[in-house]
Amino acid sequence: AQNCDRVPAKGATSFYEACQSFWFVQMLLQMESSGHSISPGRFDQYMYPYYIKDIESGKMTREQAQELIDCVWVKLNSLNKCRDALSAEGFAGYSMFQNLIVGGQDKDGMDATNDLSYMCISASMHVNLPQPSLSMRVWNGTPHDLLVKAAELTKTGIGLPAYYNDEIIIPALISRGLTLEDARDYCIIGCVEPQKGGKTDGWHDAAFFNMLRPMELVFSNGVEKGVQVGLKTGELSELDTYEKLFDAYKKQMDYAIKLMVNADNAIDAAHAERCPLPYLSSMVDDCISRGKSVQEGGAIYNFTGPQGFGIANIADGLYAMNELVYKTKTVTLQEYADAMRNNFGMPHTDAYAKNLTVDVVKSIVEQGYQINDNQVAEIFMQIKENAIEPAKQKAYQSLLEKIKALPKFGNDIDEVDMYGREAAYTYTKPVEKYTNYRGGKYHAGLYPVSANVPLGLQTGATPDGRLAGTPIADGVSPVAGSDVNGPTAAANSVAKLDHGIASNGTLFNMKFHPSALKGDSGIEGFISLIRAFFDQKGMHMQFNVVSRETLRDAQLHPENYKNLVVRVAGYSALFTTLSRSLQDDIINRTEQGGF
């Protein structure tokens, strides 16, 4: 009661009061907007003066402070919100994305690790809950002991912490206009998005951009269901060189990005007019001095960050088409298109067949015909089975096998990995050319949250051999199951992308069998993997450490796994709260057995 009478209005004078003040502010910010990604940021930095003062004065013991932090962690898990159906798919698992980060550098470029850095990691171990979404900054000066502590938390299988590389994020933010001091003081908001806390309106997650859609429009010459929704980039017969094909893809990409930016700016204007957040704005420099809310451009730094995903699918698809169509001339581009249109001769998933059935039935009804339930069921089965003439089916499946046999992104093969780098550039470079409604710049991210599953359901078969309706590759990760040369090879491939240009964040998922992190050698091998990836200027890594068998059993017996927490995208969630399709996507990620 004494704490509540004092803070936050009169300012905290102790660590206990500071924790209470922190909770009040966090809760009120959540209540004001019913938003998500209201992130605590560098908790170990701004709370440390209160902590060390009480420790040195004898007012509080370290154990008492740890208990308070644990209690704050529990309270953060009490915040939730209702989402609409589409948002529940794109942000699956009831996560609030309250990102709290430890470690890294201070404004002077010195290591900022302190006792609270370790205690925050311990708190996540103690409570075993998905919030806060704990992250850790890593740089050349990060103490090895802190990495060991973090690895021990990762080893529990909770999917925390996520690891971020100061050596690439700080220069990336400076390139966007942040001062050196502000860039060094960055935190992470939401999933994986770097920003300077207290000075930024970043509008991260401004859009989910499916990088496979422009490729679909290349194959249809911009037509979708009889409507010209994209550019006319040429009939397939006109795309008689790989260069022409790739140029058509870039043109469709540029046009789609332009439409996305127009939509984002319209939404930004609506937010400024209809949804100002005065309480939040009071805590962001320079909203008060400028007399503007964050939605009106009051923040010092203003960005819009839409994220693209599907890089690995595009890389593998471009490589496959170049090899099979243009180099070896195994098939024509039209034959490739026919195979994709027929799902490479393979059955459709139930979910995808259901969506197609809805479209077919709707078309029949609109033409004035009546249709009964039995007829609907028959249409569904025909679509699901995807029965086609046997000779064609054999040819389509043969092409699929040829595609699968080709090298893939994620195996440290330079020739293939360079397709990934160029694929990423088709999205990141055009995005950064645009200015947002608040006078700031657009900057791209490369991550999907969990939208790679629902948007994959809306996407047909693709040139990489991905079947219709199946998940798209998440973030900068290889296609699930395609990285067969081990974790180091996968990390080396991902590191060849230009992470610096994706200053709104990248996401790299890896999954290990629990035996991989067993003992001191397992922990040291894990740390070496992170260090090696970051030495190559990779931006972010996150891990699931859980066996495929455990996850399958959790699907069959969810009542036995109510506390099973896994890493989804840039956040962790209770496995049993996720949709079956998202659970399958996590299970199907490549399971690495060691280093």
Q: Which amino acid would we find at residue 573?
A: A
Residue 530 φ then ψ, to 5°: -65, -45
Question: E strand or H helix at 541, and its extent?
Answer: strand 540-545
Three-state DSSP at 291 gives: coil
Active site residue: 120, 191, 287, 323, which one? 191
Structure tokens at 1: 């009661």
- What is the Cα–Cα distance from 568 to 587, expressed in whole angstroms? 11
* CB-facing half-sphere around the CA of 234: CA atoms within 13 A: 18
Strand partners, 209: 308
Please identify which of the residues 19, 120, 187, 193 carries the catalytic annotation.
193
Distance between CA atoms of residues 274 and 44, nearest Å: 35
235: helix, coil or strand?
coil
What's the CA gap between 451 and 275, in Å, rounded? Answer: 25
- Packing angle, helices 115-127 and 62-76, rounded to 10: 50
Q: What is the DSSP string of 458-471?
A: T----TTSPPTTSP
Q: What Å distances lie between residue 571 and 26, 130, 193, CA to CA?
A: 18, 8, 12
Q: Which of 83, 69, 13 lies closest to 40, judged by CA?
A: 69
Distance CA 345, CA 366 (A): 30
Distance CA 15, CA 39 (A): 20
Could you confirm whether 82 is annotated as catalytic? no
Task: Say how far apart CA 510 and CA 466 lie, in whole Å.
Answer: 20
Element at 378 (helix H, strand E): helix 373-385
Please state, in angstroms and rounded to a whole number, the distance separating the CA atoms of residues 170 and 185: 9
- Distance separating alpha carbons of residues 226 and 81, to the nearest angstrom: 39
d(CA 224, CA 279): 44
**Quick one: which H or E segment has residue 103?**
strand 99-103
Instruction: State how far the Cα of 147 lies from the Cα of 289, in Å rounded to an integer.
Output: 41
Query: Distances in Å between the alpha carbon of 73 and those of 67, 104, 122, 135, 505?
Result: 10, 21, 11, 14, 25
Strands 200-201 and 509-512: unpaired
Token readout for 562 is 């109510």
Q: Which residue has the tokens 């999917």?
A: 159
Strand partners, 102: 136
Residue entry with tokens 């099979």:
324
To the nearest 10 degrees (0 to 180), the angle between helices 373-385 and 350-366 is 130
Asked about 193 being catalytic, the answer comes back as yes
Active site (catalytic) residues: 191, 193
